[in-house]
Structure 1
Amino acid sequence: DAVGVAAQSANSYAPAQRLDFGTTYYWRVDEVNAPPSSTIFKGDVWSFTAEPFGYPIDGNNITATASSSGRDQGPENTVNGSGLDVNDLDLHSTELTDMWISNIAGPQPTWIQYEFDKVCKLHQMWVWNHNTLNEPAIGFGVKEATIEYSADGANWTTLGTTHEFARAPGAAGYAYNTTVDFGGVAVKYVRLTISSNWGGLLPQYGLSEVRFLYIPVWAREPSPDSEATDVDVDVTLGFRAGREAVTHDVYLSSDEQAVIDGNAPVTPVTETSFGPLSLDLGTTYYWKVNEVNEAETPTTLEGNIWNFTTQEYLVVDGFESYNDLNPDDPDSNRIFYTWIDGYDNPAINGSVVGYAEAPFTEQSIVYDGKQSMPFNYDNSTAGYSEATANVANLQVGQNWTKHGIKALTLRFFGDPTNAAQQMYVKLNGSKVTYDGDAENIRRTAWQMWYIDLASLGVSNVTELSIGFERIGAVGGQGVVYFDGIRLYSHDRQFITPVEPSTAGLVGHYQFDGNAADSSGNNNHGDLEADTTSIPGKYGNALDFDGTDDSVDCG
């Protein structure tokens, strides 16, 4: 009927006053044409339900104890959900072992106590009384009880006077029928001391289920989720505020204990976000949000500890964004328009990036993703082959001193017909030569080149070049594939080979002309088909044709 209509031009709407908790609201948006027609197009009716005033405390975060218990009928049954209908968690069964009952010979008075994992502002307690089939006749269900609560387990306060719990029907599908209001008091312990049951026949007392509802005054729902990985180093942290908070103290550190103890750097904020930040790569961070309201008691509520781990590296160029679109297409991004080569001046610069025909990138020999950069070099005439990219056109920023960056790495893949030439990289024109064997560009395997940036001025990197310099008077030519150019915060890792242990050794095959086992276990192999011995990296090796050659070890 369009009651409460509000005309507006924005595509969002903030109600004039706070909505009621747990209430379902209905709304629609009518679209209106501009004058002079001002035609109204009636929208669909949508609905949503506002959050409840109180939220249930997870039974896994409650420890239940009692003065005594019957066999298989411990106090934990009152908080572990046993007996609740899986299709309707508000309905309880009549199964005896889904409930708690005290021992008839146990000490008196009978009590049952609940301890939460932290202090909560308690809203209500819902009670399902003892509900076996013979409950109407025997009446083990609690009738009268004194309720006490405590924030520290030492100082206790009685809640009102004696409370009477409604009797259970002794039938399946039993919904809670007692609600105890706690009024938002700060509680970690609740104790029920029982003075009577509904039958009045035996000094034995029981409950089916107890559910505690708390007021969400703590910060919750962290963004990113706790234990998230590969989080952006420029992340903005977010959270849902506690209901009574005025300000939020955000603690953040890579030292978990410092966050726990409150010794980590703290930043007060009034919004439910913190950032954008500038964090280190490959680092696990811990954080919490303490909610503050000087008008409440306590004034500060300690938040949970959350954590996340930042991305391991920054991508300088992964070569995934390049395409084969025509230059007149606004989305065209051909690889040789970013990596400027020597195509127009081969006598000086012998490099050619990409292929002459589409696809211009390499799409079979890749380190990761779907594309790599083919780099053809020819130093037989030119003295060098080099391709240069404007860093502003790449995926990374120009300040390479941030985020704990220590190294530039690139992956390269060679070809056995390549002429060995001196590979190098330039940053803003400053050359860094490859510190490995020049012959490595002949290897048909992905290799990583780690370039330490400590001695280089990388606070404003504008140009990145990759090249090959002539070795000897003749030079040479070839093709090398590049992929995964990245920035890392890791130091270079040197691995010292260690002779493996002989414990549990079954066979040791050196392939020096045969498949003999040199372990002493005589598990010798036989060369099958045309398997032959050839010179290897160390001694001899076996050559397999990829069809039917093999070693039969029995």
Structure 2
Amino acid sequence: MLFLRRIIMSKKLVCLISFVLACVLSGSISLAQENQIANGEFDNDLNAWGSYGGVGFNMEVVQSGALSGNNAVLIDITDASAAASIGISQGGFQLVQGQTYPFGFIAKSDQERAMVVLIQLSKPEVPSWTDIFLTTVQLTTDPQEYVLEYTHEDENTIEHPGWSVNMYLMLKGQWWGMTGSDLNTKVWIDWVYFGAKPELQDRSRAVNPEPDDGAIHENTWVNLRWMPGDFALSHDVYLGENFDDVDNGAEGTFQANQPASSLVIGFPGFPYPDGLVPGTTYYWRIDEVNDADPNSPWKGPVWSFTVPPKIAYNPVPPDGAKFVDPNVIFNWGTGFGSKLHTIYFGDNFDDVNNAVVGLPQAESTYTPGTMELEKTYYWRVDEFSGASTDKGDIWSFTVTKAGGGLKAEYFNNTDLSGQPVLTRVDPGVDFDWGNADVPGENSPDASINVDDFSARWSGELEVDITDTYTFHITANNGFRLWFDGELIIDYWDNGTTDTRESDPIELVAGDLHSIQMDYVEGAGTAIAQLFWESTKRQQQIIPSSALQLPLKASGPNPSNHAVDVSQTQIVSWSAVEDATSHQVYFGADEEAVKNADTSSPEYKGSRNLGAESYDPGQLQWGTTYYWRVDEVKADGTEQKGNVWSFTAANFLVIDDFESYNDLDPADPASNRIFFVWLDGFDNPAINGSIVGHANPPFAEQTIVNEGSQSMPFVYDNAVGKSEATLTLTSNRDWTVNGINTLTVWFRGEAANAAETLYVVLNGTAVVNHDNPDAATIDEWTQWNIDLQAFGVNLANVTSITLGLGNRSNPVAGGAGMMYFDDIRLYAQ
């Protein structure tokens, strides 16, 4: 079912003109449902959103959509032919059988084209995702509101923790044909919802800058234009050559207050009467003004445009690059007003610098032919404007070397547990194993499953250009990326082909950094790709020559820069293959740990191969600790490690459920959750609880409060009560540091039987939750308990029990599913 509304925007009015594109409604839409879309107005960047596909397009939040509020997502398709799939997605929906859900969005395109709207359901028992809703809408150059509905006929998803529901807005897809999928278009999307329709946001700030934000403007004058905010009567215009000055409204940047939504710059009688200067970036801002409104003025974002320099700029390959393809084709930004370009190229700096004779050409590309590996080349582009020639800078690059790559470990399970089935060197992470059933063709090797396998790639990354970098992963299914031991991308619960990127990272040429990517394939298509890009380097798969096998200790646990770490944390790491022992350094002073040697107090001794852990003892609350592991080789040489850090929590962690795994009990590292939290499995006649899932992963990895795991807890009070008990081996003194509050995070399900939730200390002291229906609360809830309510010796707490029912007088009751996470002690 589809309705369409045309959105007519003006600075005073938002008119909605409705007309129906589909037949009469077959049932009513419940508008009382909660909107399940997170960040549907894109006010929190792209948080909660994923991209479907990874090449041929860019996706970013912009202030130029003029749809609802200040922000919209822009999907800019730069090369439709290179992409198999293009779209945006969000998951995590909960659906109730028989319920009808309204959903919709506002969108527009710079060309008329189609878009597929898709909802899919994944079940572990079904090998591929199922389309439960599929339709095609037509996008126009005017903003349109699209209103749809879906009636869920399957079972309640909350009763099936392994089920996943995702919504996709697709502009190209391997399985979904649509008009315009071959076009390089720009599409803006905003105001996405699933459930209750939210109110359209006011758009108080100016949007739609002309020139576009970040544009190259090839003229020495400009007519600045913008779309006014909804309440503006006039506009304060700021323009300057420094971002901070314009952002702060520094003296000299204010140009005018005016009623018009445009301003000419660069002519006599206007700002910058002598014209704009080539090679300069200009920053501008519009504040919307209405003196009758107490919220005025509405400060606008800072936009920019650049008048290109007269010389060639932005070389590809970038200046100083080391890992260049031997068959690369050069290109560059053409100089201001240039008509012809003369290229000088060679392997000698002086020859290229002093060259004066060359063949001018109109094209801004150059093919040098196949170049020699590991050789450094120089090139220069002189620009001719018709009146003069502007000599270019000398750029250099080095052609890639042979070899390089990452240590690859493959597992025939979905949690990287146990010993890998296959270990090898992969040149990089750029795999598309397809969606069929031939091991070795649709999996990494004939020994690896086509479904339900996992992989880990680890090694060192060499940086060749000092710049600001971002890392991207495109994969189907889950993935994580660590950089120098810090988790910078985390999307383990990915049900389809999706892309995530890291925050920007400042890197310095010549440095080596540890890198590790974990990957899990569930069912269906299997893809894993790891990219990097910077302001000087276009996005590309990280080349093999930039990678090498692990040299330093890696995989720190806790991860680098982790916070809220237990005060009894035992640190651990992964060794390099040729290490014979490890030298451990630990302390609270970063520089001291960085510079320590075996005579320093930070030196904590040597660890044998196979003993990659260190127990620092009781840690101080809220203190940041630093540690380093140097790898000792057979010949006695040492590889100095990175300095890692973590911060101890300002609370006591009783259990965060992160340490549990699925390893076989015979494995010394096995830590299955139901062997630690003892349930009713062995005593079903008196205890109706079952902790953990029946199959791996035994801990819950989707429905979590914080971190990556929680404890699933099935209760069946036909026998009177259900409970599970943890015996404490540490943190037994609950009187330290002024502790007075026990916190338990829990989540139930709406369909649960309403049994009393309780906590027991030392097997006898019981506190019940004051809400008798707590088990039916279907969102994460923090339960704070005053420790004095237990009435026991808090200096020696030996056990904690979580349960449901009437513990003192058990009576037959109902059943349900609970989740517990983050059991902590606070001084409140």
TM-score bracket for the superposition, by shorter chain length:
0.3 to 0.5
The structure number with the bigger radius of gyration is 1
TM-score (norm 1): 0.34
Calculate the TM-score normalised by the size of structure 2.
0.23
Higher RCO, Cα 8 Å, sep 6+: 1
